[in-house]
Amino acid sequence: MQSIRNIAIIAHVDHGKTTLVDKILHTCNLFRDNEETGDLILDNNDLERERGITIVSKNVAVNYKGVKINIIDTPGHADFGGEVERVLKMADGVLLLVDAFEGPMPQTRFVTQKALSLGLKPILVINKVDKENCRPEEVHEAVFELFFNLEATEEQLDFQTIYGSSKQGWMSTDWRQPTTDLTPLLDLILEEIPPVPVKEGTLQMQITSLDYSSFVGRIAVGRVARGVIRENMPVSLVKKDGKIVKSRIKELYTFDGLGKLRVQEVKGGDICAVVGVEGFEIGDTIADFEKPEALPGIKIDEPTMNMLFTINNSPFFGKEGKYVTSRHLRDRLFKETEKNLALRVEESDSPDSLLVYGRGILHLSVLIETMRREGYELQVGQPQVIVKEIDGVKCEPVESLIVDVPAESAGKVIELVTQRKGEMKVMEPKGDLQHLEFEIPSRGIIGLRNAVLTATAGEAIMAHRFKSYEPLRGEIPQRLSGVLISMDKGSATAYRIDKLQDRGRFFVSPGDEVYEGMIIGENSRDNDMVVNITEGKQLTNFRTTSKDDAAKIAPAVKFSLEEALEYVQNDEYVEVTPHSMRLRKIVLKETDRKRKN
């Protein structure tokens, strides 16, 4: 039987996981010499390529010196922590990738803690040692300290370290002596990561992720914990609640390179994809037909934030989208919960809207962006954090926030964070930057990134992760300025925008269609103001000698989806359609808003 190693690659966002997997694939001669592959081969959906981040974890397999290595690439953002938590169950060891300058970051800590608690064997890869002002020795010390603080075992603390640059495609045991390829890393994996343990007993396989094919439907992916699984074999599916459903396996695939290979049987320890089992969920166990034994379920951290998703009922509804009814919206959201474990959907008091719970704004905005590309129209309300009652005290989620910023802007950042009830814990120099650590309520982080980037001229690097639930910290100031609201339906004119420019900054350009109650700009004062932006210039046949001055208009402010979600208040919606994104008041008519207040 061929020897197998299962490893997951974990790291903070942007430390080079997906690039490293690319280079491993090339080292193991997975492609012909003349084949065009491009970069970031595994980030294969449009959203991942545009944002340059991994959202969904993926499997590939390579053969090296006769050993099969299953590699799992995981996301680095804590918002997609649910992805990481479930796939670590398939691995026996982890490659912890750390940037040689930044060192271990908050999300590194989050995934490392999960990996160590599962008893996985770590290998430390210090990446990007070709960068200027890198500090590999200090980073090595910092990781050792991190492992110690996370209560790693003696064996885990005795980890091996390898240095290199995944972009340049080399790894070496000494960072001052570059090699030419990645073989030192692959050799280390074979030495250090334990071979798959062979357990005696009947079949057990936990489903840890799912794939979908338009031909055969849903495909279960997981690792065979013990026993052997064969094509056409009768099996039992053990659900989370203990219910047992009898089923039969139609087709079996193992991972081979970037694709799948159809096989007759898969032995314990390998990762495989199963076709033919109906009605499964992630965390269920495929077990023996006669004596089924379940594996312990997958525990996922609770969501910390929720948002109201509702149908688009603005005057412009149905102009761009294919799916606009509440039935479409409901079906799509409940379908998403099957594969997105950290997401929860609940009914609200109105039949047209649903409450969606997730890990953070990025987690929910990726879902909204995916839906709008599929042709859905919807509106979303302001993100709300989930408040729990613990021992009779109201508690809210608190996060650890790390900001690296040039020294001259540090004061502004500290002021912004403390206004939002953040407490400073650490302030120390790190290279030519100041390294600041805070504890701040999740409510305070909503809308903070924009303010910090504006105050530091875009030079701040921010990262945050959920820490724990703590007692409520009181009122947090929201948006400081009011908004400009359109009075009428029609097209925005350059003449009116020009005349109103000293009132604030605009989100629309001349010629954009607007409707009554739509938010078209930010007021320079703290109250909301209704303005007429659609009126043209009155033309008379009475000529004067003075010519018209040409209108000089500042360019409109354009929000990304996350920025828009952070900007809106609780009486406003973000309207999202396949081609446009608008901000609006929930109550469109001014008289109705006044009556409500």
Q: Does 540 carry a binding-site annotation?
A: no
136-149 vs 106-117: helix axis angle to the nearest 10? 50
Q: Does 363 carry a binding-site annotation?
A: no
Query: Of 127, 113, 106, nearest to 426 (Cα)?
Result: 106
Q: Does 127 carry a binding-site annotation?
A: yes
Amino acid at 151: E
Instruction: Answer yes or no: are the C-beta atoms of 185 and 164 closer than 8 Å.
Output: yes
Instruction: Answer yes or no: are the C-beta atoms of 488 and 516 closer than 8 Å.
Output: yes
Give the residue carrying structure tokens 């057990």. 204
Q: Does 129 carry a binding-site annotation?
A: yes
List of E strands, 343-459? 344-347, 353-358, 378-380, 384-385, 388-390, 393-406, 423-430, 433-441
Token output for 283: 């965390």
Q: What are residue 121's DSSP bridge partners?
A: 93
CA 480 to chain centroid:
28
Token output for 131: 């960068």
Phi, psi angles (nearest 5°) of residue 4: -130, 140
List of E strands, 193-270? 204-213, 217-226, 228-230, 234-238, 244-248, 251-256, 259-262, 265-267
Instruction: Answer yes or no: are the C-beta atoms of 312 and 371 closer than 8 Å.
Output: no
Q: Does 130 carry a binding-site annotation?
A: yes
Q: Does 27 carry a binding-site annotation?
A: no
Amino acid at 509: S
Q: Does 537 carry a binding-site annotation?
A: no
Q: In whole angstroms, give the CA distance from residue 366 to residue 128.
A: 28
Q: Does 128 carry a binding-site annotation?
A: yes
Q: In whole angstroms, give the CA distance from residue 411 to residue 415.
A: 6
Q: Does 14 carry a binding-site annotation?
A: yes
Q: Does 16 carry a binding-site annotation?
A: yes
Q: What are residue 307's DSSP bridge partners?
A: 356
- Annotated binding-site residue numbers: 14-19, 127-130
Q: Residues annotated as binding site for GTP?
A: 14-19, 127-130
